[in-house]
Amino acid sequence: MAQKDFISRYNQFSGYFWLLIAGLSFIGITFKIITEGPETWLAYYVVPVMALLMYFTKKWMMKRMQRHLEEMARDKKEDNV
């Protein structure tokens, strides 16, 4: 049971990590655009977009894995009955 708790905490942490990366990079890039101009820094907005994609992919995969585990537990319970 401890392994499951560790994995779920890790998954939550990594999800929040990607949100943090997206937020900090968006703020940093916006600051650089305001101070130095958009010529160089506009292309760097791909970093927060990719971080958000990673967050939503992680969230989707966690839900998918949870449904799979519930289905496996239900099948195992049916086999034992």
- For the chain, the structural domain boundaries read 10-80
Q: What does the pLDDT profile of the chain (81 residues) look like in tens digits?
A: 466 678 888 888 998 999 999 999 999 999 999 999 999 999 999 999 999 999 999 999 989 988 988 898 898 888 876
Amino acid 1 reads: M
At 33 the pLDDT is 96
How many whole angstroms separate alpha carbon 23 and alpha carbon 48?
Answer: 7
At 3 the pLDDT is 65
Give the global pTM: 0.79
Alpha helices, H only, the chain: 2-36, 38-41, 46-80
Q: Using N-to-C axis directions, what is the helix angle for 2-36 and 46-80, rounded to 10°?
A: 160
